[in-house]
Amino acid sequence: MKMVNSDQIKQLDNIAMESFCIPGIVLMENAGICVFEEVLKYIEQKENKEVIVVCGLGNNGGDGFVVARHLFNKGIPVKVFITGNPSAISGDAKKNYDIIQKLNIDIQILVGVNNLKKFSEVVKGCGLIVDAIFGTGLKRDVDGFIQEIISIINKSEKGIISIDIPSGVGASDGKVYGLAVKADKTVVLALPKIGNINYPGADYAGELIIKDIGIPKAAIKNMDLNMNLITNDMVKGILPFRKRDTHKGNFGKAYVVAGSTGMTGAAILTCEAALRSGVGLLKIPVPQSLNTIMETRLTEAITVPLPEFKKGVVGISDFEKILKTMEESNVIAIGPGSGNSRELEELLRNILEHTSKPIVLDADALNSLANRKEFLKLIQSQTVMTPHVGEMSRLTELDIDYIKNNRIEVASEFSKKWNVVIVLKGARTVVAGPNGEIYINKTGNPGMSTPGSGDVLTGIITGFIAQGIEPIKAAVAAVYVHGKAGDLAAERIGEYGLLASDIIKELPITIKHIVEKIKINA
């Protein structure tokens, strides 16, 4: 599903009106009806059905006027509060304002301290507040009078439904501009906005309900939008169909360079996740001293014991054997639990120089690249890199806080510069491709902030690439599956104490749900 920023949604509205001759007032009517329907669902089970619609002076307020009209016509008690002088209302919003005036709907103007006190008292008696103050165009801090209004709304302990985006949240970045409405539900119009999905704005949105307001699909297609929200249907379209007449060779071969003394767990989690993701055959080169541990835990994988130049570390002392066994595979993963060592750096350099196989780089492989940035120029194959913000900071030499506040831009710029797929991990993982396409994932939960969770993601990506999925699509599917498996694990055991191995246990049922299109919360 495509995503947009504030400028793009404005452009999309203009295309619908100018190129497809859809009047703006029709789009506003459709938007208002969509919100009205959600309001009805909310209040039908409530004893107190009185609704307050708080409207700004722009088109978001106009949507609110439409909501108020339909509630009034339905016989539902409704009051409209306007956050400024109505003389400033124009265009389609003005037409809808004129209509509710003619209907004698209760309209009150919010200006001055006395009005705020009255508003606060009225709020205490209502059952639901509809937030129609600001739309997607907000780009300045909310302060003064409007901040007081939002504060009253948030302290009301009433149900709150926001139209398109909670007022005070930036549509293009998810930033909170001073103070924002804390909604229980946000009715998103046409397409999700970046601010609906990105944190901290996502914390203010509550449940997201995405509604079609009649913008033609051709208009969306013609805009060539590069931002995408990963959905269940998208991932279902990526995962390969499995024929009945098959053998393990049909599902690909993976090669995982991972693990060292004290960090065999990372390698085991990566391999188990790849196996649970459906890879047909998996090999892991291991230092001879660690082979017994690996063989004992990874009964479904093939270990390749190697001589050790340094105890417990895979090095390049037997690179010819590594190269031979590596080239038999469809994908190579490097880094989980490998340890920071000169041996790993040299092994990584040699692999990058000698293979054209798809590569997945994680953890210590990324740290090696950060230490030896000249290695980035050696990449000649399709490569997926899976940094968290700390690793991204070391790779780019950018400040961590800057990366946190500009995740999409940082991931995209690095991806295009080095012609790699970047999976920037965290809440709302960003997948960026060299062609400029961006994918945002919204599955997952805080319980997944646990040791080994990233190793599991690396294993899933590796397993999917081995099965013939294009690396960027494999990354897109993997982050969704990884997050959804974590959500299922949290449903089963809770977020506290959730382990990376719990995510692995849920992978088969998660994939089954997606492939068979069994409904799960997305």
- Binding-site members for (6S)-NADPHX are 59-63, 135-141, 164, 266, 337, 388, 455
Annotated binding-site residues for K(+) read 60, 131, 167
Distance from CA of residue 356 to its chain's centroid?
30
What is the per-residue burial (b if ≥16 Cβ within 10 Å, else e) of 124-146? eebbbbbbbbbbbbbeeebeeeb
Euclidean distance between CA atoms 19 and 12, whole angstroms: 10
Q: Is 132 helix (H, G, I), strand (E, B) or coil?
A: strand
| Cα torsion angle, 487, 176, 62, 221, sign | negative
Numbered residues of the known binding site: 59-63, 131, 135-141, 164, 167, 266, 337, 388, 425-429, 454-455
> Cα dist. 392→358, 397, 457 in Å?
21, 8, 17
Backbone φ and ψ for 226, nearest 5 degrees, come out as -110, 0
Q: Are 358 and 465 in contact (CB under 8 A)?
A: yes
Report whether 258 contacts 271 (CB < 8 A).
Answer: yes
DSSP letters for 418-470: HT-EEEE-STT-EEE-TTS-EEE-----GGG-STTHHHHHHHHHHHHHHTT--
Per DSSP, the residues of 183-244 read -SEEEEESS-BHHHHSTTTHHHH-EEEEE--S--HHHHHHTT--EEE--HHHHHHHSPPPPS
Binding-site residues for AMP? 425-429, 454
Q: Is the separation of the CB atoms in 290 and 264 below 8 Å? A: yes
Do 271 and 264 contact (CB within 8 A), yes or no?
no
Three-state SS at 333: strand
Q: 84 with 111: CB under 8 angstroms?
A: yes
Picking from 325, 379, 390, 327, the residue whose alpha carbon sits closest to that of residue 348 is: 379
Structure tokens at 133: 């103050």
DSSP 8-state secondary structure symbol assigned to residue 176: B
3-state class (DSSP) for residue 73 = helix
Cα(454)–Cα(163) distance, rounded to whole angstroms? 36
Q: How far apart are CA 415 and CA 471, in angstroms?
A: 13
Angle at 208 between CA 206 and CA 214, to 5 degrees: 145
